[in-house]
Structures are given as C-alpha cells and as structure tokens.
Amino acid sequence: MAEKSKVKLGKVYISASFNNTLVTVTDEKGDTVSWGSSGSVGFKGTRKSTPFAATTAVEKVIKKAKDEDGIEDVEIYVKGPGPGRDAALRAIRASGVKISLIADVTPMPHNGPRPKKKRRV
C-alpha cells in the first residue's frame, strides 16, 4: 500500500455557531486531512458553545494534522458569529504552525428577505 504524501501547506476552516464549533483541516486541493468539533471532543449541551471547548477541539485537530500529515503552514478561514472564533485562532497560534492568512468568510446578506407587510388596524 502506498504511503500518504506529506502535506506542507494546509487550510483550516473554522465554523463557529452559537451551539458548536467545527474545525476542518484540508490540503491545498481541498481534500480533508482531519476534522473535529466541540462535540466530538466530549463536550455536551451548552458547554459545547464555550471558548474552552473550541480551543480543545482545535488543539486535537491540529495535533492530528501535524503528526499524521506533516502540516507546517496554514491558511485560516473563519465563518460564523460564535464564541469559539477568537479562542480557536489563539489555539492555532499556540500550536506552533505558521499562519500565512486569516480570512473571515462569514456569509452576509446583500439585502435579505422581503420584510413583512405593513400592519393594518
């Protein structure tokens, strides 16, 4: 069986909602290398949405990506308004990988849905 090639550059996608924080590490092409979430690390209920849960999830995912695939340099894409955003960034910085880009890719409506009709009394 062929050995997996070592990846130097990776992309980290962080999706921080109000209930959970999802972390995915991919290679340059976009193939998933490792992933995890606050829930998969062992937090349940409201504790999933804490910054500490996000930090723990990011540490686990980055450690796996570094050990198994040799990722050294990452680009970070953050999406969502959750409390795990900043904590996840701090955890990646502390993990020792080189950060080349941090981008906010939170979707923003350009005008949103049509408003409700005016109330008549």
Please report, for the chain, the start and end positions of each structural domain, with discontinuous segments joined by +.
9-104
Q: Which helix or strand (DSSP H or E) is residue 22 part of? A: strand 21-26
Q: Give the model's confidence band at 78: pLDDT under 50 very low, under 70 low, under 90 confident, else very high.
A: very high
- Residue among 18, 11, 38 at smallest CA distance from 80: 18
Q: What pLDDT digit, counting tens, does each position of 16-70 carry?
A: 999 999 999 999 898 999 999 999 999 999 999 999 999 999 999 999 998 888 8
Structure token digits, residue 116 = 């409700």
Q: What is the CATH code for 9-104? A: 3.30.420.80
Q: What is the pLDDT of residue 3?
A: 54
Greatest alpha-carbon span in the chain:
75
| Strand stretches in 38-112, DSSP E | 73-79, 98-104
Backbone angles phi, psi at 30, to 5 degrees: 110, 5
The CB-side HSE value for 82 (13 A sphere, CA atoms) comes to: 29
Q: What is the pLDDT of residue 74?
A: 93
For the entire predicted model, the pTM comes to 0.86
Cβ within 8 Å of residue 102, ≥6 positions away: 75, 76, 78, 89
